[in-house]
Structure 1
């Protein structure tokens, strides 16, 4: 599925301290944009050929455009997986956080929903989603935050914009959306709060604080294999 090429933030890496990784990410996104341009050109020529009565030529160009679209999707997938792993590596974020910097909106929505469902099934109590402030977006408009809020509403989850406006606290158990007093996260009193309740949620201890969540172990092995292949480019 083609993904609109608009992403969150000015830098894909939240920490901004790894230029090699940033360059690899940009390389993959640039390849995707190039394939998108070729796709559009093929489809335009296909329509022109069809209008000129060249059905065979139109079909050939259409198939060529679809091939470029598939390559575009593959490069975008590689970029999404690569930057997600870089931003969410052990030590980069707390284990009850997910950093969505560098993701297109549709990519971020899919990744976050998978994480929410996995954490809920594992009995985790909450999740902090880093969505960015929109400082580098057109007109400083946050594109990801509204989509995250929409997803929470669809899943029947309470959520709360933290004082750090680039992060959202999501209650995976229902009830109050505010982080607990001893959560250890600064600024949890601020922001707008919206309550949404629904679905079945399972309680549990704060396992995220002690170890890397099972979600990472179960969903990232494929990404690791790809990163190993890319290391010669990144290093």
Structure 2
């Protein structure tokens, strides 16, 4: 993908617009395939992580921050639809992240708060969060 885009830029700079367009389209095809495969992998990872968990718990380990936010959104909507008040979110401690710095945990905390939720670290496990649906009354 990247090679196609780079070659497309080079062709365009050499005023070979037709070749540039072909290479750009090929790069876009590679990009679409990559995104499809990423989505399939994300789905499999999420399904495997969440086998046997109850409806009020999700595990976001091994997902990208972007993917984790999307699954978190879906889970929060499910909690709201069921009329429940909280969701336990397994995010990990960042042990397997670069420099052992958690990436998903702070992003989900901030994102949840931006959605009007109360998001706190689980007192029993600092690799988990508890997102609470705030009563609008």
Using the size of structure 2 for normalisation, the TM-score is: 0.93
The alignment's C-alpha RMSD in Å is 1.4
2:48 to 63, 69, 86: 86
1:47 aligned to 2:12? no
Q: How big is the shift at 1:49?
A: 0.6
Q: Counterpart in 2 of 1:103? A: 63
For residues 108 and 69 of structure 1, the distance between their equivalents in structure 2, rounded to whole angstroms, comes to 21
Q: How big is the shift at 1:166?
A: 0.9
Structure 2's unaligned 5+ residue stretches are none
Q: Counterpart in 1 of 2:133? A: 172
Contact 1:160–1:168, Cα closer than 8 Å, also in 2: yes
Q: How big is the shift at 1:173?
A: 3.4
Q: How big is the shift at 1:96?
A: 1.6
Query: Relative contact order (alpha carbons < 8 A, sep ≥ 6): 1 or 2 greater?
Result: 1
Contact 1:113–1:151, Cα closer than 8 Å, also in 2: no
Q: Counterpart in 1 of 2:107? A: 147
Contact 2:58–2:88, Cα closer than 8 Å, also in 1: yes
Structure 1's unaligned 5+ residue stretches are 1-38, 175-199, 202-235
Q: Which runs of 4+ in 1 moved over 2 A?
A: none
Q: Counterpart in 1 of 2:87? A: 127
Using the size of structure 1 for normalisation, the TM-score is: 0.55
Contact 1:43–1:62, Cα closer than 8 Å, also in 2: yes
